[in-house]
Amino acid sequence: MGRQAIVFSKSLGEIAGALNSSLTVAEKLDCLVQVASRALGVRGCSLMLLDAKRKKLIHVATHGLSDRYVRAGVVEADKSLPEIMEGKTAAVTDTESDPRIQFGEMARREHIASILGVPVMCRGRIVGSLRAYNRIRREFTSAEEEYLITVANLAATVLESSGTLVSAEGSGSTEPKSAPHRRAVRSPVRAVSFAHPSEEDFARLLDFYQIEWVYEPRSFMLEWEGDKVTEMFTPDFYLPGLDLYIEMTTLKPGLTSQKNRKVRRLRELYPDTKIKLLARRDYDRLLAKYGHGPLAGAKTEGVGRILFSADQIQMRVRQLAKEISRDYEGRRILLVGVLRGMLCFMADLMRYLEVPADVDFMAISYYGSGDGGEAVHITKDLDVKPNGRDVVLVEDIVDTGMTLSFVLAHLEARHPATLAVCTLLDKKVRRLTDVPLAYVGFEVPDEFLVGYGLDYREEYRNLPFIALIRQQGRQGDIGG
Measuring CA to CA, which residue among 113, 115, 107 is closest to residue 136?
113
> DSSP states of 98-151 as a string?
-TT-TTHHHHHHTT--EEEEEEEEETTEEEEEEEEEESS--PPPHHHHHHHHHH
3-state secondary structure of 456: strand
Question: At 24, which amino acid appears?
Answer: T
Could you give the 3-state DSSP secondary structure of residue 224? strand
What's at 185, amino acid-wise?
Answer: V
Beta strands 439-443 and 75-76, pairing class:
unpaired
Task: Spot the catalytic one: 51, 390, 396, 399.
Answer: 399
What is the rounded distance in angstroms from the CA atom of residue 5 to the CA atom of residue 144? 9
C-alpha distances in Å from residue 229, one per residue of 144, 260, 272: 27, 20, 21
Q: How far is CA 217 from CA 80, 170, 347, in A?
A: 21, 27, 45
Distance, in Å, from the CA atom of 246 to the CA atom of 274, rounded to the nearest integer, reads: 9
Helices 3-19 and 142-161: crossing angle, nearest 10°?
Answer: 0
Task: DSSP letter for 163, please.
Answer: T
d(CA 449, CA 307): 9
* Helix runs in 55-112, H state only: 67-70, 104-109
Q: Is 455 a catalytic residue?
A: no
Active-site residue list = 399
